[in-house]
């Protein structure tokens, strides 16, 4: 066994054993049990300590933590149709740590904003993070766009929303956002503005998964917008609001009722607003 | 000067003999293989993430390798009684320190720009495949200069500790300690300026200030994020950071020479 070939064989066997051990122990029953799902996510130290302990490698740490969050949310999406409530805390904590580690890192703002606004309704936290991003990268017009959208769509603060859209337009040099802002200022229909902003977001998204999510939302909003216009035509024609969507169809204003991609059904509420039973999230 | 250069040449030769170059080559090839993997994991701003990864890898690899190299060669000098032999030669002790220092720094310089040159085509290639952010190739290589100054400073500190003690493990911990303190003091000073920091006891604040003025501020050389994002520090602050590094290194090196002159070698 002292020969070169013999030693090589031993090395080969040991390497194969290593792979074998890894393969054998890569089973769910080896993982720790009995922990709550919320606890499965990593524990962070204070954001400042996370920065100190990163020494010169804070950028890599920021990337790694963000990736960890994406994997965590990805795993949850296999089990739940919508992000579960307990996942909000890991998102906020990761965003706070990562924006301290590297406040320039774009992905975390995008992810946190997406989840916090649409899935958890915590627009204030999302806006606070975006404002922080702007402190470090004021040239990133997309943050203004998100802020504009959040103020407009979620907080119903049209003036502030319009102000951010104008900023987005100025910083990006894209006049369409200023155009949207002016529409907003004259309150000419928020669904239309939401559609415009979503289209802008889709244009700027390279991740296919996120893009699909935005496209679904866009499809739903386009359905709502089409029905809103039809309700307006009905009101002008008959001087009254339609009781349901069937009336719009029977009056020949629409050919058919659009499908809600989230699995819900569109309806008209008492005030004539078009709503959906899905509330723009996937139904169980 | 001739003797210094000769010692530097021997140091580089010894460093190459340690097979460290092969280790770095293999590690760098693995790092290069990681580039497409990272590419597929990245959501936005691919060029920045890839450049950040490559620069961080260069930083980490060079620091670790140089630390082990300096300690290993110093241990070899002690074990094989090379040090006694060199000292018995008609060369001044200071030439030994300067020669070793120049050799290590020259080797670090080769390593840094070798790694940067190997990684840059891959970073550039994958950045081009999804050019959603700029890739500053000039900054990429300029970072090498900052890393070199940091390594030079740490090598000088290592030589200082080796002049103080004959136990390499003590020197190793000493260098690691300086590295940790050097990279955190800037943050601690920042903390002192916040509301909580202001309320700290005067004694603690005084200790922190003293420590801050003794240890090197290594955070000045951590310009990776600034370079990746093109958040240019202006030319003057870049120059001042480099000047600070050079001055501090020279002082530490002179201190090492003074102590080494008095060192008892058994």
Confidence band for A37, pLDDT divided at 50, 70 and 90: low
Tokens in use for A34? Answer: 């009995």
Look at residue B77 in the predicted model and tell me its pLDDT: 78
Tokens in use for B80? Answer: 């094989």
Residue A199 near chain B (CB below 8 Å): no
Domain extent for B240: 2-262
Q: How far is B83 from chain A (nearest CA, A)?
A: 34
Look at residue B20 in the predicted model and tell me its pLDDT: 77
Which residues are A268's β-sheet partners?
A274
Instruction: Give percent of chain B above pLDDT 70.
Output: 95
Q: Between residues A192 and B266, which one has the greater pLDDT?
A: A192
**Residue numbers in B near A104 (CB within 8 A):** 225, 228-229, 231
- The stretch A101-127 carries a mean pLDDT of 95
* Maximum average pLDDT range among A214-228, B67-81, B107-121, B201-215: B107-121
- The stretch B36-52 carries a mean pLDDT of 91
Q: Which one-letter DSSP state was computed for residue A260?
A: P
Element (H, E) at B66: helix B46-79
Q: Residue A274, SS3? A: strand
Q: What CA–CA distance (Å, rounded) separates A16 from A10?
A: 10
**Residue numbers in B near A203 (CB within 8 A):** none
- The stretch A156-168 carries a mean pLDDT of 84
**Count of structural domains within chain B:** 1
Residue B83 in this model has a pLDDT that exceeds 80: no
Q: CA–CA distance from A7 to each of A16, B22, B23 (Å)?
A: 14, 22, 21
Tokens in use for A136? Answer: 């470090």
Instruction: Give percent of chain A above pLDDT 70.
Output: 87
Site of tokens 């020279």: B250
Q: Residue A268, SS3? A: strand
Residue B51 in this model has a pLDDT that exceeds 90: yes
Residue A39 in this model has a pLDDT that exceeds 70: no
**8 Å CB contact between B196 and B27:** no
Residue A120 in this model has a pLDDT that exceeds 60: yes
Residue B212 in this model has a pLDDT that exceeds 90: no
By Cβ distance, the residue of A55, A60, A70 closest to B183 is A55
Task: Count A/B contacts: CB-CB distance under 8 Å.
Answer: 56
Element (H, E) at B128: helix B93-129
Verify whether the Cβ–Cβ distance B187 to A207 is below 8 Å: no
Q: Cα Rg for chain B, rounded, in angstroms?
A: 20
**8 Å CB contact between B224 and A61:** no
Q: What is the pLDDT of residues B4-34, one digit of tens each?
A: 888 889 888 888 887 777 888 899 999 999 9
CA B176 to chain CA centroid, Å, is: 11
Measured at the CA of A139, the angle between CA A138 and CA A145, to 5 degrees, comes to: 85
Verify whether the Cβ–Cβ distance B41 to A107 is below 8 Å: no
**Residue numbers in B near A102 (CB within 8 A):** 225
Q: What is the pLDDT of residues A41-97, one digit of tens each?
A: 777 888 888 888 888 999 999 999 999 999 899 888 888 888 999 999 999 999 999
**8 Å CB contact between B89 and B10:** no
Q: What CA–CA distance (Å, rounded) separates B115 from B141?
A: 10
Tell me which residue of B145, B171, B142 sits closest to B158, measured CA to CA. B171
**8 Å CB contact between B238 and B231:** no
**8 Å CB contact between A72 and A91:** no
- The stretch A136-156 carries a mean pLDDT of 92
A6-15, A148-157, A182-191, B61-70: segment of lowest average pLDDT: A182-191
Q: Residue A266, SS3? A: strand
Look at residue A31 in the predicted model and tell me its pLDDT: 60
Q: What are phi and psi of B48, to 5 degrees?
A: -70, -45
Q: What CA–CA distance (Å, rounded) separates A245 from A265?
A: 10
- Domain boundaries of chain A, sorted by first residue: 37-137, 221-276
Verify whether the Cβ–Cβ distance A56 to B130 is below 8 Å: no
Instruction: Give percent of chain A above pLDDT 90.
Output: 44
- The stretch B253-265 carries a mean pLDDT of 85
Confidence band for A33, pLDDT divided at 50, 70 and 90: low
Tell me which residue of B106, B128, B119 sits closest to B55, measured CA to CA. B119
Residue A224 in this model has a pLDDT that exceeds 70: yes
Buried b / exposed e along B198-231 (16+ C-beta atoms within 10 A): eeeeeeeeeebeeeeeebbbbbbbbbbbbbbbee
Residue A271 in this model has a pLDDT that exceeds 90: no
By Cβ distance, the residue of B132, B224, B231 closest to A59 is B224
Q: Residue A215, SS3? A: helix
Tell me which residue of B58, B71, B46 sits closest to B175, measured CA to CA. B71
Kindly report the average pLDDT of chain A as a whole number: 84
Q: What is the pLDDT of residues B84-126, one digit of tens each?
A: 666 666 778 888 899 999 999 999 999 999 999 999 999 999 9
Residue B80 in this model has a pLDDT that exceeds 80: no
Confidence band for B179, pLDDT divided at 50, 70 and 90: very high
Output the CA torsion sign for B136, B137, B142, B143: positive
Q: Cα Rg for chain A, rounded, in angstroms?
A: 25
**Residue numbers in B near A51 (CB within 8 A):** 187
Verify whether the Cβ–Cβ distance A56 to B45 is below 8 Å: no
Look at residue A188 in the predicted model and tell me its pLDDT: 46
Site of tokens 């460093």: B15
Look at residue B141 in the predicted model and tell me its pLDDT: 95
CA B78 to chain CA centroid, Å, is: 24
Verify whether the Cβ–Cβ distance A60 to B225 is below 8 Å: no
Kindly report the average pLDDT of chain B as a whole number: 88
Confidence band for B60, pLDDT divided at 50, 70 and 90: very high
Look at residue B189 in the predicted model and tell me its pLDDT: 80
Q: CA–CA distance from A201 to each of A140, A149, A245, B48 (Å)?
A: 13, 10, 30, 21
Helix axes A190-203, A175-185, angle to 10 degrees: 160
Q: How far is A165 from chain B (nearest CA, A)?
A: 22
A36-40, A225-229, B40-44, B145-149: segment of lowest average pLDDT: A36-40
**8 Å CB contact between B160 and B72:** no
Minimal Cα distance from B43: which residue of A?
A: A207
**8 Å CB contact between A264 and A284:** no
Look at residue A179 in the predicted model and tell me its pLDDT: 61
Residue A253 in this model has a pLDDT that exceeds 80: yes
Residue A51 near chain B (CB below 8 Å): yes
Q: For B68-91, give the secondary structure using H, E and C.
A: HHHHHHHHHHHHCCHHHHHHHCCC
Look at residue B84 in the predicted model and tell me its pLDDT: 65
């Amino acid at each position: 066994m002292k020969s070169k070939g013999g030693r090589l064989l031993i090395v080969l066997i040991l390497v194969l054993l290593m792979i074998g051990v890894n393969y054998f122990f890569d089973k769910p029953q080896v993982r720790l049990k009995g922990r709550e799902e919320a606890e499965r996510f990593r524990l962070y130290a204070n954001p400042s300590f996370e920065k100190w302990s990163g020494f010169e490698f804070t950028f890599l740490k920021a990337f790694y933590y963000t990736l960890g969050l994406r994997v965590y949310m990805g795993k949850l999406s296999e089990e739940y149709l919508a992000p579960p409530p307990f996942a909000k805390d890991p998102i906020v904590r990761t965003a706070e740590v990562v924006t301290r580690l590297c406040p320039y890192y774009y992905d975390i703002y995008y992810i946190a904003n997406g989840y916090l606004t649409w899935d958890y309704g915590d627009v204030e936290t999302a806006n606070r993070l975006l404002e922080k991003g702007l402190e470090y990268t004021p040239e990133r017009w997309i943050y203004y766009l998100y802020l504009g959208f959040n103020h407009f769509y979620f907080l119903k603060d049209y003036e502030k929303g319009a102000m951010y859209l104008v900023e987005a337009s100025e910083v990006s040099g894209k006049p369409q956002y200023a155009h949207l802002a002016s529409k907003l200022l004259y309150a000419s229909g928020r669904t239309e503005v939401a559609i415009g902003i979503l289209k802008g977001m889709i244009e700027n998204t390279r991740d296919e998964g996120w893009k699909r999510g935005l496209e679904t939302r866009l499809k739903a909003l386009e359905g709502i917008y089409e029905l809103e216009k039809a309700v307006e035509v009905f009101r002008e024609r008959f001087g009254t609001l339609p009781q349901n969507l069937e009336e719009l169809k029977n009056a020949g204003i629409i050919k058919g009722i659009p499908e809600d991609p989230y699995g819900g059904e569109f309806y008209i509420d008492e005030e004539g607003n078009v709503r959906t039973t899905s509330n723009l999230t996937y139904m169980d | 000067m001739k003797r210094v250069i000769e010692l530097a040449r021997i140091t580089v030769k010894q460093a190459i003999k340690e097979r460290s170059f092969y280790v770095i080559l293999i590690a760098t090839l693995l790092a290069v293989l990681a580039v497409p993997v990272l590419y597929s994991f990245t959501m936005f701003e691919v060029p920045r993430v890839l450049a950040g990864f490559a620069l961080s890898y260069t930083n980490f690899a060079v620091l670790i390798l140089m630390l082990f190299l300096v300690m290993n060669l110093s241990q070899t000098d002690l074990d094989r009684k090379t040090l006694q032999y060199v000292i018995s030669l008609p060369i001044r002790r200071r030439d030994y320190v300067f020669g070793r220092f120049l050799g290590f720094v020259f080797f670090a310089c080769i390593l840094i720009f070798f790694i940067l040159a190997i990684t840059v085509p891959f970073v550039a290639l994958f950045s081009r495949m999804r050019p959603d952010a700029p890739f500053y190739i000039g900054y990429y290589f300029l970072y090498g200069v900052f890393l070199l100054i940091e390594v030079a400073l740490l090598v000088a500190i290592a030589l200082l500790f080796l002049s103080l003690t004959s136990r390499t493990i003590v020197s190793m911990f000493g260098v690691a300690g300086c590295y940790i303190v050097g990279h955190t003091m800037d943050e601690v000073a920042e903390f002192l300026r916040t509301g909580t920091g202001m309320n700290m006891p005067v004694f603690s604040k005084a200790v922190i200030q003293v420590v801050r003025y003794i240890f090197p501020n290594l955070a000045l050389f951590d310009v990776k994020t600034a370079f990746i994002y093109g958040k240019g520090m202006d030319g003057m602050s870049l120059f001042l950071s480099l000047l600070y590094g050079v001055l501090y290194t020279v002082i530490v090196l002179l201190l090492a020479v003074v102590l080494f002159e008095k060192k008892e070698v058994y």
